[in-house]
């Protein structure tokens, strides 16, 4: 089921879904925007999957759409009976070889329990005999974090059935993660293809926003051409930043009761996103100080915003249930911005999950994720 929006999208824009929310692409390939470049790269991936080549790498900086592509591939392959695909985004901290073996056993059936490696190979071989192509899609920086699994994958690459590898593995990984371990470097020797994701062009950014709005039923343009140009300049064509900036701009527009979103609204939204030292250049080139009507507390916009007290405060407010959901979602959105722009993508992703649960009315699940954020922050800052 698609992400059902409970905030300003439904109340002001009359949308049943949020056009720029992360959850949409998790539920359906219909919300995935295919550029010509991506279409060609996906055809390459499909070719190597059909050949059952062992390892395919999709790499790119944070925010360029590795997770979105992993969902697209997963949903697309599910539509064909000759593919068996599993998307893996959660792995134990120290997974044992048996964990990986049980993962492969689940390909056979959810009820199948791993007993021995020989038996597992025979079961998988029988699927191959029936013409099935097995695809594992890893979307959790496995190349940097999980040596045991990498060793198991490398060993599996030496198993052939009818002159084909047992399965194909697709890794979604940042350039930094690839370089972290010797095991990941060893895996790279077996690569069949390396796909590098690129930012959207200015024209693609405009088409992407139009595409997302059309998917939720908005046929008339909401963003002026100047606004779309400014969005591309501010986000540098990074899809995740485009989502966040467009979302914030639509929120500002709804609060002011406006129909069209012009470059003045984008400037105000950019100001929220551009308060860290690393993005002073964006502020200087895109913002006219006199144009801003968004008043924000500078303390809230500093890199210290995610301290222990802030998280406790947010958890308390959600637990109390006194603030409207819309307000709480807005607070989390601002925190997502700040963490993305300070490079803390792990925190940003966890906050996005918390926001999804909150939007669905599941405060218990949202609080659970936020408690996880609090724990991670303490680990990162050694007792903040």
Same domain for 189 and 241: no
Q: Give the distance, in angstroms, between the CA of residue 35 and the centroid of all CA atoms in the same chain.
A: 18
Residue 281 pLDDT class (50, 70, 90 cuts): very low
Neighbours of 196 (CB within 10 A): 13
Distance from C-alpha of 338 to C-alpha of 343, rounded to nearest angstrom: 9
Answer yes or no: is 330 within a domain: yes
Distance from C-alpha of 366 to C-alpha of 359, rounded to nearest angstrom: 9
Same domain for 188 and 246: no
The CATH number for 129's domain is 3.40.50.300
205 phi/psi in degrees, rounded to 5? -60, -45
Q: Please indicate whether residue 323 or residue 69 has the higher confidence score (pLDDT).
A: 69
Same domain for 145 and 263: no
User: Looking at residue 222, what is its pLDDT?
Assistant: 92
The pTM (predicted TM-score) of the whole model is 0.69
Boundary-marking domain end, from 173, 196, 219: 196
Render pLDDT for 132-178 as a digit per residue (tens, 0 to 9): 888 888 876 665 566 667 777 777 777 776 677 778 888 888 877 77
User: Do the strands 55-59 and 168-173 form a parallel or antiparallel pair, or are they unpaired?
Assistant: parallel
Same domain for 285 and 229: yes
Range from 107-116, 258-267, 304-313, 325-334 that averages highest in pLDDT: 258-267
138 phi/psi in degrees, rounded to 5? -100, 125
Boundary-marking domain end, from 154, 170, 196: 196
Distance from C-alpha of 217 to C-alpha of 79, rounded to nearest angstrom: 25
Q: Are 231 and 266 in contact (CB under 8 A)?
A: yes
Same domain for 347 and 231: yes
Q: Give the distance, in angstroms, between the CA of residue 280 and the centroid of all CA atoms in the same chain.
A: 26
Distance from C-alpha of 54 to C-alpha of 191, rounded to nearest angstrom: 7
Q: Are 82 and 134 in contact (CB under 8 A)?
A: no
Residue 335 burial class via C-beta count within 10 angstroms: exposed 0-12, middle 13-18, buried 19 and up: buried
Answer yes or no: is 25 within a domain: no
Kindly state the percentage of the chain with pLDDT values over 70.
Answer: 70
Distance from C-alpha of 276 to C-alpha of 301, rounded to nearest angstrom: 8
Residue 125 burial class via C-beta count within 10 angstroms: exposed 0-12, middle 13-18, buried 19 and up: middle
Q: State mean pLDDT over 300-326.
A: 64
Same domain for 184 and 68: yes
Boundary-marking domain end, from 147, 173, 196: 196
Q: Identify the three-state secondary structure at position 172.
A: strand
Q: Please indicate whether residue 25 or residue 53 has the higher confidence score (pLDDT).
A: 53
- Pull the structure tokens for residue 252: 């500002």
Q: State mean pLDDT over 215-243.
A: 89
Same domain for 249 and 214: yes
Render pLDDT for 340-351 as a digit per residue (tens, 0 to 9): 555 566 777 778
Contacts of range 144-147, beta carbons closer than 8 Å, 24 or more positions apart: 144/173, 144/176, 144/177, 144/178, 144/180, 144/181, 144/184, 145/91, 145/177, 146/91, 146/95, 147/181, 147/183
- Pull the structure tokens for residue 377: 């922050």
Answer yes or no: is 26 within a domain: no
Least confident among 83-92, 224-233, 279-288, 353-362: 279-288
- The domain of 190 spans 36-196
Distance from C-alpha of 171 to C-alpha of 86, rounded to nearest angstrom: 12
The answer, yes or no, to whether residue 101 has pLDDT greater than 60, is yes
Answer yes or no: is 187 within a domain: yes
Same domain for 118 and 185: yes
Instruction: Give the contacts of 256 (CB within 8 A, at least 6 positions apart).
Output: 265
The answer, yes or no, to whether residue 308 has pLDDT greater than 80, is no
Residue 322 pLDDT class (50, 70, 90 cuts): low
**How much is the mean pLDDT over the chain?**
75
**Number of compact structural domains in the chain:** 2
Distance from C-alpha of 198 to C-alpha of 214, rounded to nearest angstrom: 24
For residue 136, what are the CA distances in angstroms to 55, 215, 338, 347, 356? 10, 29, 33, 26, 26
Answer yes or no: is 308 within a domain: yes
Q: Are 353 and 268 in contact (CB under 8 A)?
A: no
Q: Please indicate whether residue 341 or residue 19 has the higher confidence score (pLDDT).
A: 19
Q: Please indicate whether residue 7 or residue 38 has the higher confidence score (pLDDT).
A: 38
The answer, yes or no, to whether residue 199 has pLDDT greater than 80, is yes
Answer yes or no: is 128 within a domain: yes
Q: Please indicate whether residue 1 or residue 308 has the higher confidence score (pLDDT).
A: 308
The answer, yes or no, to whether residue 207 has pLDDT greater than 90, is yes
Sheet containing 168-173: which strands, arranged edge to edge? 83-88, 133-138, 168-173, 55-59, 191-196
Residue 384 pLDDT class (50, 70, 90 cuts): very low
Same domain for 117 and 166: yes
Which of 328, 372, 330, 334 is CA-nearest to residue 350? Answer: 372
User: Looking at residue 361, what is its pLDDT?
Assistant: 73
Render pLDDT for 240-255 as a digit per residue (tens, 0 to 9): 889 888 988 888 888 8
The CA-based angle 337-343-349, given to 5 degrees, is 60
User: Looking at residue 1, what is its pLDDT?
Assistant: 28
- Pull the structure tokens for residue 21: 């929310």
Which of 238, 249, 225, 235 is CA-nearest to residue 282? Answer: 235
């Amino acid at each position: 089921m698609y992400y059902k929006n409970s905030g300003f999208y439904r109340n002001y824009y009359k949308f049943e879904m949020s056009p720029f929310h992360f959850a949409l692409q998790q539920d359906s390939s219909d919300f995935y925007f295919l550029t010509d470049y991506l279409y060609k790269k996906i055809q390459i991936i499909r070719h190597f999957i059909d050949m059952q080549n062992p390892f395919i790498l999709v790499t790119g900086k944070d925010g360029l759409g590795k997770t979105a592509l992993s969902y697209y591939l997963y949903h697309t392959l599910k539509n064909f009976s000759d593919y068996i695909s599993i998307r893996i985004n959660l792995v134990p901290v120290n997974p044992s070889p048996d964990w990986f073996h049980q993962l492969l056993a689940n390909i056979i059936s959810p009820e199948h329990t791993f007993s021995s490696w020989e038996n597992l190979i025979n079961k998988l071989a029988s699927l191959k005999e029936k013409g099935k192509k097995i695809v594992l899609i890893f979307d959790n920086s496995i190349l940097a974090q999980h040596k045991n699994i990498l060793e198991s994958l490398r060993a599996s690459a030496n198993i052939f059935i009818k002159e084909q590898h047992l399965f194909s593995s697709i890794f979604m990984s940042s350039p930094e993660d690839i370089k972290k371990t010797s095991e990941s470097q060893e895996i790279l020797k077996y690569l069949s293809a390396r796909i590098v994701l690129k930012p959207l062009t200015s024209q693609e950014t405009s088409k992407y926003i139009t595409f997302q709005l059309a998917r939720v039923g908005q046929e008339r343009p909401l963003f002026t051409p100047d606004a779309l140009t400014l969005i591309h300049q501010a986000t540098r064509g990074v899809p995740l930043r485009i989502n966040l900036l467009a979302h914030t701009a639509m929120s500002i527009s709804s609060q002011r009761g406006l129909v069209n979103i012009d470059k003045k609204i984008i400037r105000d939204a950019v100001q929220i996103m551009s308060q860290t030292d690393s993005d002073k250049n964006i502020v200087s080139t895109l913002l006219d100080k006199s144009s801003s009507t968004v008043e924000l507390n500078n303390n809230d916009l500093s890199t210290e915003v995610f301290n222990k007290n802030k998280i406790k405060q947010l958890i308390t407010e959600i637990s109390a249930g006194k603030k409207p959901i819309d307000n709480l979602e807005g607070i989390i959105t601002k925190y997502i911005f700040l963490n993305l722009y300070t490079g803390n993508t792990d925190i940003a992703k966890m906050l996005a999950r918390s926001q999804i649960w909150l939007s669905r009315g599941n405060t218990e699940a949202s609080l659970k994720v936020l408690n996880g954020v609090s724990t991670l922050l303490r680990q990162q800052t050694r007792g903040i």
